[in-house]
Amino acid sequence: MSGPGREPLRIGVLGAARITENSLIGPARTTGHRIVAVAARDRSRAEAYAAAHRVERVADSYADLIADPEVQVVYNPLANGLHGPWNLAALAAGKHVLSEKPSASNAEEAAEVREAAAKSGRVFMEAFHYLFHPVTRRLHELLASGELGELRHVETLVAIQAPADTDPRWSLDLAGGAVMDLGCYSLHAQRMLAPWAGGAPQLVKARAGERAGAPGVDEWLDADLAFPSGATGSARCHMAYDKLEMSCRIIGSRGEAFAPNFVLPQLDDRIVIRTTDGERTERLGRRSSYTYQLEAFAARLREGAPLPLGPDDAVATMTLIDEAYRAAGFEARPRVPILS
């Protein structure tokens, strides 16, 4: 919480995305930070959004919001293809940036964002919020403690029911597809196990299916991974599944741990642990992963506290995404050529 001597962050929001209510507005209220401005392509939509969510004011355009001297942090939840261009613009304007994942359309653009962050001296973070929740921290503790033994295999599945055909997540021009929207979580969670697997995983092979009526856009993708230690991984995503599933199963030489919803643990905070000593279920709390994330981001800006995520991590994740696309017979997502 903000308190004496702890000024609230002053955050500007690009777009009137539905996700922002859960990913930022609610957490900001909980932790005492200010949403000082919002901008949308349609000003009337931004005005309605500001009124509904008690945003302090409306900017005439994305560019105006970024130029606003009162905006300290830019939150970017725009369509995937607009992450890179507006992240670059915000960093060039001297703003700190919290960007929805993925940080860019492809690895080349992600590298440009990394360079811009280094040049600006500002904090840039990709919003892999799940990493800050006690569910994921506990999964890592189970490996670090040795209770599960040596890592042998990890399975991640992130799947949802299909969005409408008109949803921008099905647009190749806006860097859509299942891997961009969902598979980035599945792949990222596996990358985060590198400390217990001798290093980062490498792609072995990938298979994918194209969305009917959306050439070049993946409806699902399965990736097989191999870690330097000999452990293996299966990272799957599906954007037209029969239900919501966001699970992670970690299998070690002495046991396994299963999190039914590691991406949104506020919906299901369980970890089921099975070892030779028996089975138990731990509950890690329904507090929002987005709230933990905003607290960590604020601590970095206020106190210089370390973050587990940064521009290097964003480039590594995008590189793996691009590799998975190409291995499955797809192209890496195209860049949006101009700000729009």
DSSP conformation letters of 176-209: -SHIIIIIHHHHHHHHTTGGGTTS--EEEEEEEE
The answer to whether 95 is a known catalytic residue is no
> What tokens were used for 259?
């999190």
Residue 5 confidence (pLDDT) above 80: no
For residue 263, what pLDDT is reported?
Answer: 98
For residue 338, what pLDDT is reported?
Answer: 63
For residue 70, what pLDDT is reported?
Answer: 97
Q: What's the average model confidence in pLDDT over 169-180?
A: 97
CB-based burial of residue 121 (10 Å sphere; 0-12 exposed, 13-18 middle, 19+ buried)?
exposed
Handedness of CA 27, 41, 239, 323 (dihedral sign): negative
CB-based burial of residue 26 (10 Å sphere; 0-12 exposed, 13-18 middle, 19+ buried)?
middle
Q: What's the average model confidence in pLDDT over 128-139?
A: 98
With cut-offs at 50, 70 and 90, classify the pLDDT of residue 91: very high
Residue 68 confidence (pLDDT) above 70: yes
Residue 140 confidence (pLDDT) above 50: yes
Is 22 in contact with 266 (CB distance < 8 Å)?
no
Which tens digit of pLDDT belongs to each residue from 193-235? 999 999 999 999 999 999 999 999 999 999 999 999 999 999 9
Residue 108 confidence (pLDDT) above 90: yes
For residue 6, what pLDDT is reported?
Answer: 80
For residue 195, what pLDDT is reported?
Answer: 98
Question: Which DSSP symbol is given to 9?
Answer: P
For residue 337, what pLDDT is reported?
Answer: 77
Residue 339 confidence (pLDDT) above 70: no
Residue 4 confidence (pLDDT) above 90: no
Q: Strand pairing of 10-14 and 34-39?
A: parallel
Mean of pLDDT over the chain: 96
Q: What's the average model confidence in pLDDT over 58-80?
A: 97
Residue of 101, 119, 205, 243 marked catalytic: 101
> Which residues make beta-bridge pairs with 34?
10
Helix axis angle for 107-120 and 311-327, nearest 10°, is 170
For residue 2, what pLDDT is reported?
Answer: 45
Q: What's the average model confidence in pLDDT over 159-166?
A: 97
For residue 9, what pLDDT is reported?
Answer: 98
Q: In whole angstroms, give the CA distance from residue 170 to residue 27.
A: 29
| Residue carrying structure tokens 């499955």 | 328
Residue 125 confidence (pLDDT) above 90: yes
